[in-house]
Structure 1
Amino acid sequence: MVEQVPSRQSPVDDQAASDEAQLAALGYRSEFRRDMSLWANFSLGFTYLSPVVGIYTLFGFALATGGPPMVWSLVVVGVGQLLVALVFGEVVSQYPLAGGVYPWARRLWGRRWAWLTGWVYLIALLVTIASVAYGAGPYVSMLFGLDTTTGNTILCALALLVAATVINLGGTRVLAIAALIGFTTEILGALVVGGWLLISERHHGLGVLFDSFGAAGEGSYLAAFLAAGLIGIFQYYGFEACGDVAEEVPNPARRIPKAMRMTIYVGGFAATFVCLSLVLAVPDFAAVMSGADADPVSTVLGAAFGSAGSKVVLLVVLVSFLSCALSLQAAASRLTYSYARDKMLPASRLFSKVSVRLHVPPHALLLAAVVPALVVLASRISEDATARIVSFAVLGIYLGFQMVVLAALRARLKGWVPSGPFTLGRWGLAVNVLALLYGVAAIVNMVWPRTPDAPWYDNYLTLLSGVLVVGSGLVLLVTTRPYGRSNAPAGDAIPRNETTEDGVIV
């Protein structure tokens, strides 16, 4: 008789079984495929953060407002957002669920807090997708020699949204490949462009980084630096996207916290390097501050690379915009899916449906394309209207972040002890408090009125947009009770003897 040798599972099979067992213990069965590696997951966060998009978009404003020392805001904000990423790392390590901030808030606090967190963050993501697509329009026009008109900008933005949606509908593996291509293109572009500027177009020494060149005028330089520091605040987010696709990553409890930190380290370095090289390559700071040179990025790139070289740089910039929109759309669709899976949205059955063939939520992806397209089209009626809608974008993302950070701090004080593979140990409470303090300070800086000569509603536009979105969410929360149909686990991070009956807000 031949003895039968029991078959052994491969390490990959063992990991897949472990991942599914962990997900089942959290109350869910995944319909996604775990086709996203650590590097692809990091690339998703990196392309969402997109140092090229962020720096090129706000460089002229920041330099005109704060002078060369505005570069230091990237360091300050990078440290602050690293604290937030560490808190998120502890949460996602214990709760590696699709959707990011919504399921994290749900497990840390409860259904109502989670619903409001998801509402704020989803709106912020949708308008951010619109702002990225619209911001790409002028670069497309420059690349193809078109007039930079509102009509052309709208057409280019819609084309970018269509391209991002088609790629996302290809499935997790296609998304992972696209993210890796976007990361490779953007990091090489940042290093090559920045390196060439430092070699061939450097007009200043590092000493200018400590000279404001009179940017503050008669006022305090601190006020000018804080205003210019918006370039850093608008730059450092995207790392949470690594967690939005948690159910598409093998061994997510270990890999996603690492990918989040890598996003901050590598993305922060790339953004600072690009910004520094541009600062040292600007020939005339006075012209930028006076408004005579309103687009110093184009001035520098044109001088350094000429007409043909600038086209190549523009192509890299467009790949960065597309990758950024792609990552944002993926994050928004997974948040919508997670929301709907817990029956927290109207038409939840539709938005929680996952394609059997592609393993992506197609209707949630279409929502993340149609709503931004409508925002873009609104500029045909009024560019001011689009600007007012988009003004909420970054504020909403920071609000969503800090709602999770606050929920984590509350849960920690009520007895939550992070139990995932990644924890901060005895440093957890201190990091959590510092992350919250940083986030509140950044939000105050964003909403601070800085245009006293403008009408009051324009001076407080960002604050008003935040009040409108949060206020409307609270009204819906109270009047429609959208969380009432959901019986998925909530508030279970806190030991049972510390929670309310159903784990919701007390």
Structure 2
Amino acid sequence: MNRSELTPASYPGDGVATSTAPVGYHQELRRGMGSFASFAAGFSFVSILTTVFQLFGLGFGLGGAAFFWTWPLVFVGQLLVALCFAELAARWPISGVIYQWSSRLAGTTVGWFTGWIMIIGQILTVAAAAIAAQAVLPAIWSGFQIVGGADADPSVASPTGAQNAVLLGCVLLVITTVVNILGIRQMAAATSIGVMIEIVGVIALVLVLFFLPERGPQVVVHNTGWAGEGGYLGAFLASSLMAAYVMVGFDSAGELAEETHSPRRTTPRTILRALVISGIGGALLILSGLLAASSLTDGNLAAGGLSWVLTDRLGDVLGRLLLCCVAVAVFACTLAVQTSGARMIYSMAREGALPFHRYLGKVSARTGTPIITSIVVGVGAATALLVNIHQSAIFTALSSLCIAMLYLAYLGVTLPLLVARIRYRGTDRLPAGVDETGQPLFSLGRWGTVVNTLAVLFQVGMAVNLLWPRAEIYDLTEGTWWLQWSALLFIGLSFAVGAGYFLARRLHRRIELRHVPHTHLEPPAEAVPEPA
């Protein structure tokens, strides 16, 4: 691909040149996203309505009411990561951010493996988001329980529920793929509308449930509802899967930086805003659900989650109406995750870093979007669902595996960033400068090394926690060893396949991971306004 310097001054819709380094690519993707649409991309990926409804029952079942405290712990850890990402987003506003940032900080080899793991993790995350439809749609109308009929068990842990989840998930993936193909404006409009409905839904749900309390907030200091035996620490760590799954994807705003107006100013703010609003809203949603549930010990909350709380306390009509907001959030979440994954593949392909890169790196002249990569992500996610159609642990296993892979990919950015901070004494490794409005780029300043160190420690600990071979997560049969160890086996296989391709192409000198030299140049000292 022919590349010329794309200077910030040439961004369509941006009226001021900046002092930051040019990123080295032609502007092929269309800039059709404003500040709210950028925020919506990150917020939709996190999607507290989708993921809290999807995993509330699992978190409560594993840890009882005290699992609530996993939420603030994970939120603080991920906020540290988001602060590091915000710094990088201001300096390198490029699609495929995890791959691009890692490559610029640690070299193209580390960057390639980081991007490879991120792609697989994103495809699995799309699949996990799509099957969230099963946690909502059958509760709205029994006709959505197609497998086994209306009288079948809709729980995703049951055979009929798991198979129906795959069916509904594949239908949803067809819809989101079509929207992605239509163009960035259509995708931005869909996610923006979805986010507005989701925010209204969260506010309504929290207010309604807080006005129907069955108990006081002191319930969260007890593990009521936990049916396990022995020490509680292991159960508490397992229940953190819910919070870990929810609070990822805030980097999606960065994935769409090449399609966002004034990305150096907009993207860092929307990354942080998406996570903070999600963190506050999710905490209130979990707490209100625990307070309003009619019982914490009869097994219904663990089996049915928040969907059961709504229909039980609010009745069928109002409960189902609010569940419709959740269904919209599931659609917006799946769409946002698929879009993010498509941009990651496109970013690597345009550098010749993936098989069939000549096709994957193309942007449609009509829609201004990478159509083929959107289809690849959709087909890949559907395949991940279909091969597990008879596995009742698909819900918990996919959730834990995909998020563990995202944590590993994030670590491929924050760890090299920490090394660069230490080696270059602070933030000297990062380009300085100003954004599109002439303001200094977002920076952690003297706190950068401390924040970065804590972020890396958190990510390592959480990755180990997510990949721990727990039978209750990966093997509901409680007797299949390869299922219990499937996460580690799958990640090991992913690395092996990636290494085989990478080395084969390098040996034949057919792979060219080209970052133009000027992506590392220090910028000029001052911004220069465009001439009138």
1:451 aligns with 2:471: yes
1:133 positional shift? 1.3
Q: Deviations over 1:92-124 (max 9, x none)?
A: 211111111011111111111111111101011
- The 3 A distance-change label for structure 1 pair 367 and 104 is same
Q: Which residue of 2 aligns with 1:177?
A: 189
The answer to which of 205-214 and 71-80 deviates more is 205-214
Contact 1:138–1:148 (CA under 8 A) maintained in structure 2: no
Note the residue ranges of structure 2 that are not aligned, 5 or more in a row: 1-8, 148-159, 433-440, 473-477, 523-532
1:479 aligns with 2:479: no
Instruction: Find 1:489's aligned residue among 499, 511, 515.
Output: 515
Contact 1:94–1:419 (CA under 8 A) maintained in structure 2: yes
Query: Residues 225-244 of structure 1 correspond to what in structure 2 (within 5 A)?
Result: 225-244=236-255
Contact 1:106–1:490 (CA under 8 A) maintained in structure 2: no
1:253 positional shift? 1.3
Q: Which residue of 1 aligns with 2:528?
A: none
1:250 positional shift? 1.5
Q: Which residue of 2 aligns with 1:504?
A: none
Alpha-carbon separation, structure 2, partners of 1:161 and 1:16: 38
How many pairs align? 482
- The 3 A distance-change label for structure 1 pair 17 and 350 is farther
1:72 aligns with 2:39: no
- What letter matches 1:153 in structure 2? A
1:70 positional shift? 1.2
Alpha-carbon separation, structure 2, partners of 1:309 and 1:192: 11
- Report SS of the residue matched to 2:122: helix
Alpha-carbon separation, structure 2, partners of 1:308 and 1:94: 49
Percent identical pairs in the alignment equals: 31
Bigger fraction of residues in helix: 1
1:172 positional shift? 1.8
Contact 1:282–1:296 (CA under 8 A) maintained in structure 2: no
Note the residue ranges of structure 1 that are not aligned, 5 or more in a row: 1-9, 497-506
- Report SS of the residue matched to 2:123: helix
Alpha-carbon separation, structure 1, partners of 2:15 and 2:265: 14
Q: Which residue of 2 aligns with 1:5?
A: none
Cα RMSD of the aligned pairs, angstroms, is 2.7
Q: Which residue of 2 aligns with 1:165?
A: 177
1:63 aligns with 2:60: yes
Q: Which residue of 2 aligns with 1:503?
A: none
- The 3 A distance-change label for structure 1 pair 162 and 438 is same
Contact 2:20–2:91 (CA under 8 A) maintained in structure 1: no
Alpha-carbon separation, structure 2, partners of 1:191 and 1:231: 21
Contact 2:294–2:313 (CA under 8 A) maintained in structure 1: no
1:460 aligns with 2:485: yes
- What letter matches 2:319 in structure 1? S
Query: Residues 192-341 of structure 1 correspond to what in structure 2 (within 5 A)?
Result: 192-199=204-211, 201-213=212-224, 215=226, 218-288=229-299, 294-341=303-350
1:448 positional shift? 2.1
Moved over 6 A (4+): 10-14, 490-496
Q: Which residue of 2 aligns with 1:425?
A: 445
- The 3 A distance-change label for structure 1 pair 125 and 38 is same
Contact 2:12–2:31 (CA under 8 A) maintained in structure 1: no
1:492 positional shift? 7.8
- Report SS of the residue matched to 1:136: helix
- Report SS of the residue matched to 1:286: coil
- The 3 A distance-change label for structure 1 pair 167 and 247 is same
- Report SS of the residue matched to 2:471: coil
Contact 1:108–1:407 (CA under 8 A) maintained in structure 2: yes
Q: Deviations over 1:147-193 (max 9, x none)?
A: 35256434322221121122222222222211211111111111101
1:317 positional shift? 1.3
1:344 aligns with 2:341: no
1:226 positional shift? 1.3
Alpha-carbon separation, structure 2, partners of 1:164 and 1:213: 39
- Report SS of the residue matched to 1:26: coil
- What letter matches 1:365 in structure 2? S
Contact 1:107–1:491 (CA under 8 A) maintained in structure 2: no
- What letter matches 1:280 in structure 2? L
1:214 positional shift? 7.2
- The 3 A distance-change label for structure 1 pair 13 and 355 is closer
Q: Which residue of 1 aligns with 2:96?
A: 99
- The 3 A distance-change label for structure 1 pair 449 and 379 is closer
Alpha-carbon separation, structure 2, partners of 1:11 and 1:337: 21
Alpha-carbon separation, structure 2, partners of 1:321 and 1:429: 37
Contact 1:130–1:390 (CA under 8 A) maintained in structure 2: no
- Report SS of the residue matched to 1:481: helix
- Report SS of the residue matched to 1:169: helix
1:346 positional shift? 1.4
1:404 aligns with 2:429: no
Alpha-carbon separation, structure 2, partners of 1:293 and 1:70: 12
Q: Which residue of 2 aligns with 1:500?
A: none
Contact 1:129–1:328 (CA under 8 A) maintained in structure 2: yes
Contact 2:51–2:132 (CA under 8 A) maintained in structure 1: no
Q: Which residue of 2 aligns with 1:439?
A: 459
1:129 positional shift? 0.8
- What letter matches 2:387 in structure 1? A
The answer to which of 183-192 and 309-318 deviates more is 309-318
1:220 positional shift? 2.4
The answer to which of 417-426 and 322-331 deviates more is 417-426
Alpha-carbon separation, structure 2, partners of 1:307 and 1:217: 32
- What letter matches 1:194 in structure 2? V
- The 3 A distance-change label for structure 1 pair 35 and 405 is same
Contact 1:78–1:268 (CA under 8 A) maintained in structure 2: yes
- What letter matches 1:363 in structure 2? I
1:216 positional shift? 7.3
